[in-house]
């Protein structure tokens, strides 16, 4: 299974403490959202720096990527999971780049069904890129499409994150039921990050224009986010049937006639 997808599905799960009196070493603070860094255009030195910054995965655009450049990026990533962002109209050529070392792939709904075969995509995790305005019936169908989709991604690279964006995040997360990844700009601040997390986003993909230091700042900001506020769900009122008083026996038969 994909290492990154495994991290997504285990996000925010509480670890079971070991039994006994064995000393437990302090673990690093868990992030409430995972960070993917887009590595296209980065040098080997920059990729190494980003790989050590605390990101959960890296990703490259398959368009224009040569096999030799991919090999260098894989080496620079070390143990960091690396994914590929595929172009649907160039899936055949991109398929040649996919090997057992590619951890996951991102594609949209225009991808040919024949490309979904294991011999092309291998056993990589599958992230479907969807339009936030997609009809509800289509979003619901994501869970039943073959082969199974492991996560969904929506593009939110706007000048400013809007309330409409957050509503679409919550809508997509609720309907699809799979982990939601948001493709964001590098300027995302603490309020926007908290809003994304509280709207169902499990991971953010930071664009290629972000430097290693900016990516590290995003990770530190996520680590310092306050705990999400638990909203009280308003329980629906239970409607009970109205019970009227039983009529008197005399009333049931009517008044007796005088003899």
What HEC string does 51-90 produce?
HCCCCCEEEEECCCCCHHHHHHHHHHHCCCCEEEECCHHH
Give the rounded percent of residues in the chain with a pLDDT score beyond 90.
Answer: 41
**1 vs 59, more confident:** 59
pLDDT at 197 > cutoff 90? yes
**81 vs 186, more confident:** 81
Q: If you average pLDDT over residues 137-160, what whole number do you get? A: 85
pLDDT given for residue 160 in this prediction = 82
Structure tokens of 228? 């999400």
Per-residue pLDDT tens over the stretch 54-96: 999 999 998 888 888 888 999 999 999 999 998 866 665 666 6
Rounded CA separation 101/257 (Å): 99
pLDDT given for residue 237 in this prediction = 46
Judged by DSSP in three states, 129 sits in strand
Q: If you average pLDDT over residues 93-118, what whole number do you get? A: 77
Considering the chain, what is the average pLDDT of its residues? Answer: 80
Per-residue pLDDT tens over the stretch 39-49: 998 999 999 99
Structure tokens of 27? 């673990």
Reported confidence tier of residue 23, pLDDT bands at 50, 70, 90: very low
The model's pTM: 0.79
| Structural domains of the chain ordered from first start | 29-228 (3.20.20.70)
């Amino acid at each position: 299974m994909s290492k990154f997808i495994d991290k997504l599905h285990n996000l925010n799960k509480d670890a079971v403490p070991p039994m006994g009196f064995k000393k437990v070493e302090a673990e690093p603070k868990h992030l409430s959202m995972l960070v993917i860094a887009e590595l296209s255009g980065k040098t080997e030195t920059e990729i190494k720096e980003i790989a050590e910054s605390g990101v959960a995965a890296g990703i490259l655009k398959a368009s224009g990527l040569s096999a030799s450049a991919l090999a260098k990026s894989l080496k620079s990533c070390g143990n960091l999971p690396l994914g590929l962002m595929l172009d649907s109209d160039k899936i055949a050529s991109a398929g040649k780049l996919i090997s057992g070392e590619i951890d996951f792939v991102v594609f949209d709904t225009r991808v040919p069904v024949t490309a979904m075969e294991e011999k092309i995509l291998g056993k990589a995790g599958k992230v479907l890129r969807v339009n936030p305005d997609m009809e509800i019936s289509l979003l619901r169908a994501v869970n039943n499409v073959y082969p199974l989709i492991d996560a969904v991604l929506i593009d939110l690279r706007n000048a400013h994150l809007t309330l409409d964006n957050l509503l679409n995040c919550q809508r997509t997360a609720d309907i699809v039921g799979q982990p939601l990844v948001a493709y964001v700009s590098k300027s995302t601040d603490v309020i926007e990050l908290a809003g994304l997390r509280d709207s169902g986003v499990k991971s953010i993909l930071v664009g290629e224009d972000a430097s290693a230091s900016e990516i590290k700042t995003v990770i530190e900001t996520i680590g310092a986010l306050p705990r999400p506020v638990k909203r009280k769900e308003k329980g629906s009122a239970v409607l009970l049937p109205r019970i009227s008083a039983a009529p008197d026996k005399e009333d049931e038969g009517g008044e007796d006639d005088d003899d």
